Structure 1
Amino acid sequence: MEDKLKGRYGFPVAFSMVVGVVIGIGIFFKAKPVLIASGLHPKIAISAWILGGTISILSGLTAAEIGAAVPETGGIIAWIRRVYGDKVAFLVGWTQAIVYTPAIVALIAYYFAFFTTQFLGVEAGPKYMLPLSAGALVLVFAVNTFTQRAGGIIQALATGAKIIPLAAITIFGFMSNNNSAGIFYTSTEAVSTKPPILLLGMALVPVMFAFDGWIYVGTISGDLKNVKKDLPKAIIFGLGFITIIYVALNIGLLKVFSADELVNQGMFGVAQNLFGNYGAKVIFLGIMISSFGGLNGFSLISTRVPYSLAIEGHFPAKNYFSKVEEKSNQPMRSAGLMFILSMVYLIAMFITGNPDVFGDIPVAIFWLFYSMVFLGVIILRKREPELERPYKVPLYPVVPILAILGGVSIGVYAAISNPKYMLISLLATLSGLLFYKK
């Protein structure tokens, strides 16, 4: 079937999409798990953030080549299809559509509601959080489905506003005279006997959750006015900007607080100690905006996933989900499915009382998919040498090979850290074979 979506976004929205999707709830909650995984060794934790940013930039440099050469709505699905065929691409899309994206959308909505209750000073329970999170889902899906331009404006505004709490904490940390802990101070509770290389790899897994989401800007490549120019720029400059922010934030925190203090107090306790109760309110407001920006970005991305699979003819009820409404130029039915799935996941989070598991399960398996994309760049160079490549990855093939090694190592360390989650991810992915339609 023909892809009927028309490009209307430029570089500013594409850049803000990368930053908006990646800088979400992860950075505000992952400083603690990274320190724990590192055995409370600040040097290892900081190294993990730097390594994670480096892997992400190498990955962005590599994926940008295939993204510009194959500018089709669907992003990673279209790229995998071009290299490995329909069935493998369907499995990626199936995992993204049914498991990963709606679960992440619901998780962000959940934490948006949590941050809102913290800001308002009310109980962080289902009484307030369920209507807040469900209402946020309705709002962002409605905006991105019925008024696409408004969704782009919200994304750009939210991206700018969310930098405030990150910048405040980072700057205050660097300017503070309290350097009693120091970033090179190793906690007295750091009793892990694991080798440093294993601790670094295990700390890398939660780091990559904080970086996850960057590749999904390719899902709206068909919506970009100049995809061949804007997509590589958005990924490269967006990831570089994010890496600097993440590393600076963690150095700033570890300059003021010891690893023990960060783990025991968490981000909210840190904000109260740094800025007082009123200052912490401002920080919570910034985190709310950050969460809403991530929710808006992921909801926009999610609406295209079933549509992309359907126009290729492999998704169940393909004729239904491949429809684009003429008046709005939007895949309304695809958006409706993702809204329903996101709401189901959201309700399940409140029922189980364990929302984080819905975000942990699919992340590791997707880094293996990313590695397939990086390998695909090398394969296409050999298989289709005449393919037009407006952008070529620098230092080829060194950069793609390093990206592949980085992606595979993340999957390996994730399997070591959480074998159950990796098994569930694999089973969820392979279940798509039951629904694959030739």
Structure 2
Amino acid sequence: MQGKELKKTMGVSVAFSMVVGCVIGSGVFFKPQAIYTATGGAPGIGIISWILGGLITLCAGLTVAEIAIVIPKTGGMMVYLEEVFGEKVGYLTGWMQCLLFYPGTAAALAVAFGNQLSEILGHPDWTVGIAIVDIIVVIFINNIGSKAAGLVQTLATIGKVIPLIFIAIFAFIKGGGTNPILTPMVGEGLSTGTVLGSVLIAILFAYEGWINVTPIVGEMKNPGKDLPKAFGGGILIIMAIYLIINVAYLWVLPADQLAQVSSPAVAVAEVIFGPVGGKIIAVGILISVFGALNGFILAGSRVAYTLAVQKIMPGYKIFNKLNKSDVPGNGIILIGALGCLYSLTGQFNLLTDLATFSGWVFYVLTFIAVIRLRKTRPDVEREYKVPLYPIVPAIAILGGGFVLINQLFMAGSGPRAIALTSIVITLVGLPVYMIMNKRKANSLNE
């Protein structure tokens, strides 16, 4: 089935669930290890960075909402950048999302799911196999239709809040509360600036997923009102949850111990509830990660579909079709298959850093695009405008820019290698674009 329009079936509840559901996935449960490793076992910068990361993300969401409503087309960020900066930049955005961001994040979430479930089952060597099966299940659900995927997203969002609530409440009741929360800022001999950049790249992954609602704006019934509500309300709620839960972790275990465990949330839960309670919380974490994975494959498939419809994606004749459920089934399979491939690494932190750096390069371009669009198209009707303009976009640009520059020039060889790999793979899209554009032009002339 080809040439059909995606139906406008999604309301504010699905949009809100996409924001909260995709963001609260694995980062809040697993990233404290990477954060407190980077700080040298000190809590201060870690806690402050949860607030800073939330403020950057809030400014980012409120900024992107404006351009998403002015250009309410399926495809999200790549469509916005194409209209503002031209087809090449738009193509590179979609190329990066299809090859790095969405499958990389999906793989990271699947690996986190596999790690957690394999520990529960007592077979740590099953991690990669479970991760691949997890992705295949999500592919199947998404191929049923957008309503089924949206329902899973909503139910998973409700389910994932439960372990967070239980940990937060009982950590403060049963925890000793004697561990430092804000001091020291960083471990002895560490640079605050470098540590802050490394911590923020981890925390921005924990906040990652907020933009996943933009590729489905074309399927929303009333994006002008619903999108700002989903971004603003969703991110503020997430900020509050993240701050409370991370203070709760420290209420039970000190930062240097959290740096030593792969699943800090489960370690804290076991102290509070015992081994059985810890496993119950672990099941809640699995629900959380599954919901996030569902959201990333749902959104990523829409980007692949948009590239294919434009006939500038290799194999576009396969991926520009909607299935009987009016969803881009082959695009769903593409993102999922790449996710399965990346899952073979079994490396959660490597995959998250790669996806986060790749995404934020183009997020910053999108924030700049909002400012440029104000100047080039001042008369266009804007049902929603960024509050406190241009301060909010400026905070988003400066925050994102700091993280990117830190990864490229200030962090160690590992993070720098990840950043350079992202840039190289993204730039490979340029010759691919030129080849596909030439073929497209030749087919039109025939």
* TM bracket, shorter-chain basis: over 0.9
Compute the displacement of 1:147 (Å). Answer: 3.1
What are the within-5 Å matches in structure 2 for residues 92-131 of structure 1?
92-119=93-120, 121-126=121-126, 129-131=127-129
Question: Residue type matched to 1:338 in 2?
Answer: I
> C-alpha separation between the residues in 1 aligned to 2:183 and 2:251?
9
Q: Does 1:42 align with 2:32?
A: no
Which stretch shows the higher mean deviation, 300-309 or 169-178? 169-178
What are the within-5 Å matches in structure 2 for residues 132-281 of structure 1?
132-176=130-174, 178-186=176-184, 190-194=187-191, 196-265=192-261, 266-267=263-264, 268-281=266-279
> C-alpha separation between the residues in 2 aligned to 1:79 and 1:2?
22
Compute the displacement of 1:62 (Å). Answer: 0.6
- Structure 1 residues 399 and 130: CA distance shift in structure 2, 3 A: closer
> C-alpha separation between the residues in 1 aligned to 2:347 and 2:303?
26
Aligned to 2:288, which of 279, 287, 290?
Answer: 290
Question: Residue type matched to 2:295 in 1?
Answer: G
Give unmatched runs, 5+ long, in structure 1: none
Deviations 1:319-376 (A, max 9, x none): 3322223x32122222232232222223x32xxx545423322321321211111111
Deviations 1:128-186 (A, max 9, x none): x4443333222211111123322211110110110112122222233346122131343
Q: Does 1:430 align with 2:427?
A: yes
> C-alpha separation between the residues in 1 aligned to 2:197 and 2:141?
40
> C-alpha separation between the residues in 1 aligned to 2:8 and 2:376?
29
Q: Match for residue 21 of structure 1?
A: 22
Q: Match for residue 394 of structure 1?
A: 387
Q: Match for residue 384 of structure 1?
A: 377
Question: Residue type matched to 1:420 in 2?
Answer: A
- Structure 1 residues 270 and 36: CA distance shift in structure 2, 3 A: same
> C-alpha separation between the residues in 2 aligned to 1:116 and 1:177?
26
Compute the displacement of 1:63 (Å). Answer: 0.7
Tell me the SS of whatever aligns to 2:259. helix
Q: Match for residue 363 of structure 1?
A: 356
Q: Match for residue 413 of structure 1?
A: 406
Q: Does 1:313 align with 2:311?
A: yes
Give unmatched runs, 5+ long, in structure 2: 438-446
CA contact (8 A) 1:365 1:411 kept: no
Question: Residue type matched to 2:429 in 1?
Answer: G
> C-alpha separation between the residues in 1 aligned to 2:42 and 2:289?
29
Compute the displacement of 1:18 (Å). Answer: 0.8
Question: Residue type matched to 1:321 in 2?
Answer: F
> C-alpha separation between the residues in 2 aligned to 1:16 and 1:112?
20
CA contact (8 A) 1:39 1:192 kept: no
Question: Residue type matched to 2:251 in 1?
Answer: K
Question: Residue type matched to 1:105 in 2?
Answer: A
Question: Residue type matched to 2:359 in 1?
Answer: F
- Structure 1 residues 62 and 286: CA distance shift in structure 2, 3 A: same
> C-alpha separation between the residues in 2 aligned to 1:99 and 1:89?
15
Length-normalised TM-score, structure 1: 0.93
> C-alpha separation between the residues in 1 aligned to 2:64 and 2:3?
24
> C-alpha separation between the residues in 2 aligned to 1:165 and 1:252?
13
> C-alpha separation between the residues in 2 aligned to 1:237 and 1:287?
23
CA contact (8 A) 2:4 2:322 kept: no
Deviations 1:237-271 (A, max 9, x none): 11111111111111122233222222234513222
Which stretch shows the higher mean deviation, 56-65 or 311-320? 311-320
- Structure 1 residues 339 and 254: CA distance shift in structure 2, 3 A: closer
- Structure 1 residues 3 and 200: CA distance shift in structure 2, 3 A: farther
Question: Residue type matched to 2:141 in 1?
Answer: V
Which stretch shows the higher mean deviation, 331-340 or 63-72? 331-340
Tell me the SS of whatever aligns to 2:381. coil
Compute the displacement of 1:299 (Å). Answer: 1.6
- Structure 1 residues 107 and 198: CA distance shift in structure 2, 3 A: closer
CA contact (8 A) 2:357 2:404 kept: yes
Question: Residue type matched to 1:205 in 2?
Answer: I
Q: State the percentage of identical aligned residues.
A: 38
> C-alpha separation between the residues in 2 aligned to 1:152 and 1:40?
39
Q: Match for residue 342 of structure 1?
A: 339
> C-alpha separation between the residues in 1 aligned to 2:112 and 2:194?
30
CA contact (8 A) 1:44 1:200 kept: yes
> C-alpha separation between the residues in 2 aligned to 1:249 and 1:58?
22
> C-alpha separation between the residues in 1 aligned to 2:135 and 2:194?
39
Which stretch shows the higher mean deviation, 291-300 or 198-207? 198-207
> C-alpha separation between the residues in 1 aligned to 2:131 and 2:199?
30
Compute the displacement of 1:200 (Å). Answer: 2.4
- Structure 1 residues 340 and 256: CA distance shift in structure 2, 3 A: closer
> C-alpha separation between the residues in 1 aligned to 2:3 and 2:385?
27
